[in-house]
Amino acid sequence: ENADTSKMKTFIFISLLCVALAIEPFDPDNNKTVEEMAKDHGYPFETHEVTTKDGAILGTWRIPHGRNNSQSTKPPVLIQHGLLDWGWTWFLYDDPAKSLPYILADQGFDVWIANQRGTFPSMKHTKYTPKDEEFWNFSIDQFALYDVPDNIEYIKKTTGSEKLHYIGHSQGTAEMFFALMHDSSLENSLHSYTALGPILKVNHMTDPIISVLAKTHFPQVMKMLGIYDLSLPNAFRKVAPRVCQFLPSLCSKFLANFPGPNLLPPQYTQAIVAHEIGATSWTNGQHWLQIIAAGKSQMFDYGSPQANQQHYNQPTPPIYAENSLKSLSLDIMLVRGTDDSAVDITDFEQLRGLLSDGVKFLPVDGWAHLGYNWAPDAHVVLYPKIVEFMESHQG
C-alpha cells in the first residue's frame, strides 16, 4: 500500500480511538467500587485489613449478612479468587441473584472475599511499599503459608466461629491444597472446601503461552529489567471499556470463550476490561513455571544450591507432601467444567487419586476456566449446589 493509504488508515484509527475515549461507558457499574455496588443493592459491606505473619496487609472484604436480615444465621465462608484475578471477579453481574457472594449472604452465610497480596485492595505491607522489590518477592508459597491460614484465623477471631467454609477458584484451590500439605491441622478450622477448577497437578498443561514463557525465561527477564509486578497499567483500564463500546465485536471475540464457548454476554465485556486483570508478582509466575517444569509440587527454587541452602537449609527446594492429602477427613467437593483446558483431565484425575474416596465430584458441561465465576447460568447450574454442599457439612 502507498504512503497516502497508510496515513489515511492511521488517521481513521486515531479518530476512532478519540471517539471511543469520548463516549461514556454504558455500564454504570464500570467506575464503581465493589463496596459502592454492594451498597447500591442494599448489602452491608466491610473492608478488613488482615496482617499476615510475614507482614503483608490484605484487604479482605466482608458481607456479614443478606439484605433482608440483620445478621447471619450460618457459619462464615471465605471465597478465594484465582491467578491474575481479584475479589471483583465474583461481582461481574449487576444482578444480586447471579453473584455468588450475594447469594451466599442471602442464604444466611457470613461472606468473606479474599484479595491476594499484590492485588489492588492488598497493596500494603508493614515494611515495604509496592515500589520496593521486596514487596513483590512472593509466590504461592506465601499464599499457602500465610495468606490463607492468616485470613482464616482472622475470620475465626472476628466472628467467634470455630470453623468456616472455604471456596477456592483455580490458584485459590492450589493455595488450600498447599496449605493443607504444609499444615494438615488447618482442616480443623474448616467445615468444607469447594474447589472450582481445581489445580494441583499440572504435568499435562499444554497451553502455548505457558510453553513460550517457560522457554524464554520471561519472568526472570522482567525481574532483571526491574519490573516485579505482573499487571496492566491504569491507562488500559480507562481506555479499554470505551474501545469495547465502540468495537464490541472485537472485545466479544476475545472474551466470549473465557467462561465457555460463547457463554459471556457481550454487554459485560466493558466491565471486565475495566477491572481485570488482578495483579500478581513475576516471582509467582516464575514459581508456577518451575512447578510445571519439575512436574511436582515444590517450593520456589531460588536458582542455585547456595541460595536454596540459605532459604531452606538444603540445596534443593522442599517438596510439598502430596501423599498427606489422602489422610484428610475434610469434606471436599471438586468442580470441573468439561471445556476447562487449564485443568487437564489427566491432571484432574491424578488430583482425585491423591484425595480420599469420599471426595464429591461435580462436572459442569461446557464450562471453561472462568465459567465458575462468569458463566451467566452459574446461579442456576452451580451455586445452589454449593449452598447445598455447605449446608450438609456444617455440623
Tell me the sheet residues that pair with 280. Answer: 230
Sequence-distant (6+) residues with CB within 8 A of 93 are: 99, 268, 376
Query: In terms of DSSP H, where are the helices of 25-106?
Result: 34-40, 100-106
Coil, strand or helix at 282: helix
Answer yes or no: 170 catalytic: yes
| Interior angle at CA 180, CA 177 and CA 161, nearest 5 | 110
In the three-class reduction of DSSP (H, G, I as helix; E, B as strand; rest coil), residue 124 is classed as: strand
Q: What is the secondary structure of 349-383 as a DSSP string? A: HHHHHHS-TT-EEEEETT--TTHHHH-TTHHHHTH
Active site residue 369: yes
Please give the Cα distance from 122 to 117 (Å, whole number).
5
Q: Are strands 331-337 and 360-364 parallel, antiparallel or unpaired?
A: parallel
Query: One-letter amino acid identity for 81?
Result: H
Phi-psi region for residue 153, left (φ > 0), alpha (ψ -120 to 50) or beta? alpha
Which helix (H) or strand (E) is 148 found in, with range?
Answer: helix 148-159
Q: Considering 275, 369, 379, 393, which one is annotated as catalytic?
A: 369
Which of 170, 192, 252, 297 is an active site residue?
170
Residues recognised as catalytic: 170, 369
